[in-house]
Amino acid sequence: MTARSFDRKNHEARPLEIIPDFTANADGSVLVSTGNTKVICTAFLEEKVPGFLKNKNQGWVTAEYGMLPGATHSRSNREAAKGRQQGRTVEIQRLIGRSLRACVNCEDLGERTITVDCDVIQADGGTRTAAITGGCLALYLCLWKHRKKYFVPPVVGRVVAVSLGIKDGEVLVDLDYAEDSSVDVDLNLVMTQDGRFVEIQGTAENKPFTRAEMDRVLAMGGDALDLTQKAQRQALLDYGVDESWIP
């Protein structure tokens, strides 16, 4: 078996780094790094809701995802210049949006929309899972900034995410780009702070996986994410978010 980046064991995720307030203008802003993958996550709260929620006394959380053309080893096309988002982009931002909606009680939010933007500035695998872990933080910082608007925090959970792979029967946690390109099965897990699942997306173009492999994936992913959610919680506390605002 080849050595893993950051000298990791199979069950270990890459080092997680969180820099809050990475940019100055958004309501919430975080640079999240998992190893060499770096994603800027920003969040804005706006006093409006999309058309399908007009006059329903509830809010909305949505997400958009992008990758700078310079983030990858060879330049990737600028989607704005091409005039359309790729299928992969659309799929990822829908995943992030669904995951973040699991954090918020939309009735408590009020008729407001929170938009979380996740823009990858350096890509080395796992950009969508880093975007979820970081996007949840940007969402919380955004709500915390607007805390005067709320009697009760309009939150019901926090989410963290990680990718896993199966290669020759072995489960690997938190794939970097080289691993991601070589595994038989690629799986993304989104979990809440209390160990429940929000999203499971596993795909096996090359080699379908067994129930037993799935069980190992869920167990190892759950353990890794438990560490991630603790780091996420600590980052919020360090920032000064009140404990009552952190599920």
Tell which positions 160-199 bind a copy of itself, by CB under 8 A.
187, 191-192, 195-199
Size of interface with a copy of itself, in residues (CB under 8 A)? 69
Tell which positions 200-229 bind a copy of itself, by CB under 8 A.
200-206, 208-211, 214, 218, 222
Question: From CA 76, how far away is CA 130, in angstroms rounded?
Answer: 19
Tokens (6 digits) for 148:
């005067």
Which one of 7-15, 50-58, 61-69, 228-236 is the stretch in contact with a copy of itself (CB under 8 A)? 61-69
Closest separation in Å from C-beta 27 to a copy of itself: 9
Closest separation in Å from C-beta 90 to a copy of itself: 4
Reference 31, options 120, 94, 102; nearest CA is 120
**Contact status, residue 171 vs residue 212, Cβ threshold 8 Å:** no
Residue 50 binding a copy of itself, by CB under 8 A? no
Residue 135 binding a copy of itself, by CB under 8 A? no
Residue closer to a copy of itself (CB basis): 185 or 242: 185
**Which element (helix H / strand E) includes 132?**
helix 127-145
Question: From CA 134, how far away is CA 120, in angstroms rounded?
Answer: 11
Which one of 62-70, 146-154, 227-235, 238-246 is the stretch in contact with a copy of itself (CB under 8 A)? 62-70
Residue closer to a copy of itself (CB basis): 10 or 76: 76
Q: What angle do CA 52, 139, 97 make, to 5 degrees?
A: 45
Closest separation in Å from C-beta 2 to a copy of itself: 21
Binding-site residues for phosphate: 88, 126-128
Of 32, 123, 164, 183, the one binding a copy of itself (CB under 8 A) is 123
Tell me which long-range contacts 231-235 makes (C-beta under 8 A, separation of at least 24). Answer: 231/16, 231/18, 232/18, 232/133, 232/136, 232/137, 232/158, 232/160, 232/193, 233/158, 233/193, 235/18, 235/20, 235/137
Residue 24 binding a copy of itself, by CB under 8 A? yes
Sheet holding 16-20, edge to edge: 16-20, 28-34, 37-46, 113-122, 60-67
Strands 185-192 and 197-203: antiparallel
Residues forming contacts to a copy of itself in the complex (CB under 8 A) are: 23-26, 29, 36, 38, 40, 42-44, 46, 64, 66, 68-75, 78-85, 87-91, 93-94, 98, 101-102, 115, 117, 119, 121-123, 157, 187, 191-192, 195-206, 208-211, 214, 218, 222
